[in-house]
Amino acid sequence: MKMRKGFLGCLTGLAAVVCLSGVSMAEALPSAEYTAGTYEATVAGRNGDLTVEVTFGDDMIEDIVIKDHVETDGVGTNAIDILPGAIVDAQSLGVEAVAGATVTSEAIIEAVADCVEQAGGDVEYLKNVEVEEAVPTQEQTIDTDLVIVGGGGSGMTAAIRASELGLDVTLVEKMPFMGGAISISGGNQVVMGSQMQKDLGVTDDSVESMVEDFMANGANLNVPELITLYAENVGETSDWLQEEGVTFNLEGGLHKLAEYSHDRELAYTGSGAGAAEAMRGLVAEKDVNVLLNTRATELISDGNGGVSGVIANDDTTVYTINADAVLLATGGYGYNKDLLEGDMKNALYYGPVSSTGDGLIMATAEGINADTRLLEYGKRYPNGIEVSEGIAKSTINGNIPAWTKSAILVNKEGERVVNEKASNRTILETELQQTGQELFLVMDQETFDVWKDAVGYDVQEYLDANGTQIPVFGHGDTIEDAAAAAGVDGEALAKTVETYNSYVEAGEDADFGRSADYMTMPIGDGPYYLVEQKPRFATTMGGLVIDTDLHVINTDGEVINGLYASGEVVGGVMGDDSPSGANNGWAVTSGKLAAQSIAEDLGAENEAMTE
């Protein structure tokens, strides 16, 4: 893929978004000297190797081409589309990462730096070339029926449905792409009550069963009316999405999960990235005015406690968007430590950098006074690795097939402490009680090969470190050697493995009741591998208070006229924890319901309302 040599405009919003001005491509830097020619470098991207080719003149970077990559469409590819032109335009390696694609951005900068060294250039000099931030200098007013703030799964779903219902829709997204959390999720969704679930053999599931399961998983902190609303509508929403073209992997079938009394989760075709891509395509087909790289900063008060629009800006323009209705679909607040409470402040984060709580901040501002609930809770999973300080990657895609082989979980003392096929909540609660609040995934060579192929990213760098840095990937020819590299008691672990293998032979887990269906192989020949497992979170459980028509409620318990909310910015649906597939399901269901509620409130007449 060849990159253009100019860069069209700056991005704005997050601090991690590229912004360029000042130095133009045509202005060679006085001390920039290169051996003219074309050089190539390959580095590790987020999902695998990324190869960059850079062409130099005697005193400037002339062109950057990304030759090969396996980065995620709509996420990492945004850095590939944007950053090479940004570097050329600024003649600088001091450009900041593209928001939402930090790892890919850093890989591109690293590869270009390698090429600069090959060409005899001064890397440190180029890193210190200042890149000035652009300041908006224009003003524009937009009048619309509905302005949606946030282009994640919920916002895009709402835009699609509202447009179908005849509303004039403007969608404001601070990132350079629409996608949000759904685009980097595992891509699973609850489909309870859908025709798809019935066609796949589950005909006895019910609203009551789903509510009961969710209440148990959420420690009964769920708002009953909201979880019931979800359960009553998720099936219809799922079938509607399938018909619209956001399809599900029916061949893969329903997933069997400990959290659910009935099988009710399906994967999207192409995982979360595939679902987001399909949604972006549908938004493009509709008559929706989409403003990317545009951050909403303030709700416009109508002077009577209600809302009549938003103020937003991109790199050149401040927008006053007057609207009959405002839908906040801004996602969570996991990337904003100022909004996190209690233990969540110290949990590893692996969600989108866009989850900074903008909707909460705007809605709770003086004059709007929206109410909130359960802000102290977030959805924590027990299967993360700490790839940099405070930042995690999920291992779940590798763990799932590993459980079908011979993987087990142990603590630092080398002891097995939980049924590896228990619910995420049970494993998490056990993990939090262990030394260092961590467990270790123990695998023989055959199981590790399966895990490594399925996990979704390159782990060679972690293996090379062999337990000397985070994340801890200890390995060795013997169980004791692998344990020592990971800081685990090797003698105890060897006894644990011997005991587990005896259970496999007997066909019964006498300690924790792991199903014989997942005890088909003993832990066999080495080398052996221990991979850290730490709590991670991406999704926050708390948020705005709404009613069942998706109206936002103020601190006096009254509806805020003109203001609605959907998706993760809403608090209380899940209680203190969400089961697998729940958050994506709520995002799309609440987005669709919000669009319908708004259309009804605004008196929109459209036959689609009865479909």
- Backbone φ and ψ of 383, nearest 5°: -125, 70
pLDDT tens digits, one per residue of 341-382: 888 887 899 888 889 999 999 999 999 999 999 999 998 889
DSSP states along 62-114? EEEEEEE--PPTTTHHHHHHHHHHHHHHHT-S-PPPPTT-HHHHHHHHHHHHH
pLDDT tens digits, one per residue of 93-113: 988 888 767 788 999 999 999
Structure tokens at 46: 């987020």
- Position 185 scores a pLDDT of 87
Give the percent of the chain with pLDDT over 70. Answer: 93
Burial class of 249 by CB neighbour count within 10 A (0 to 12, 13 to 18, 19+): middle
Checking if the pLDDT of 443 tops 50, the result is: yes
Q: How far apart are CA 94 and CA 106, in angstroms?
A: 11
Which residue carries 């509202």 as its tokens?
162
**Per-residue confidence band for 552, with pLDDT thresholds at 50, 70 and 90:** very high
Quick check: bond before 136 cis, omega within 30? Answer: no
- Position 30 scores a pLDDT of 46
For the segment 121-140, the average pLDDT, to the nearest whole number, is 85
- Position 31 scores a pLDDT of 57
Domains of the chain: 1-141 (no CATH), 153-292+333-377+541-589 (3.50.50.60), 380-537 (3.90.700.10)
For the segment 147-156, the average pLDDT, to the nearest whole number, is 98
pLDDT tens digits, one per residue of 509-551: 999 999 999 999 999 999 999 999 999 998 999 999 999 999 9
- Position 45 scores a pLDDT of 85
**Per-residue confidence band for 134, with pLDDT thresholds at 50, 70 and 90:** low
**Per-residue confidence band for 595, with pLDDT thresholds at 50, 70 and 90:** very high
Checking if the pLDDT of 72 tops 90, the result is: no
For the segment 309-316, the average pLDDT, to the nearest whole number, is 94
pLDDT tens digits, one per residue of 233-283: 999 999 999 999 999 999 999 998 989 999 999 999 999 999 999 999 999
Burial class of 374 by CB neighbour count within 10 A (0 to 12, 13 to 18, 19+): buried
Question: What is the amino acid identity at position 261?
Answer: S
Q: Which own/partner pairs from 429-437 qualify as long-range (CB within 8 Å, at least 24 positions apart)?
A: 430/382, 431/382, 431/533, 431/534, 431/535, 432/535, 435/411, 436/412, 437/534, 437/535
For the segment 455-482, the average pLDDT, to the nearest whole number, is 95
- The Cβ of residue 343 has, within 10 Å, a number of other Cβ atoms equal to 15
**Per-residue confidence band for 593, with pLDDT thresholds at 50, 70 and 90:** very high
User: Which DSSP symbol is given to 132?
Assistant: P
- Position 604 scores a pLDDT of 63
Checking if the pLDDT of 467 tops 60, the result is: yes
pLDDT tens digits, one per residue of 164-176: 999 999 999 999 8
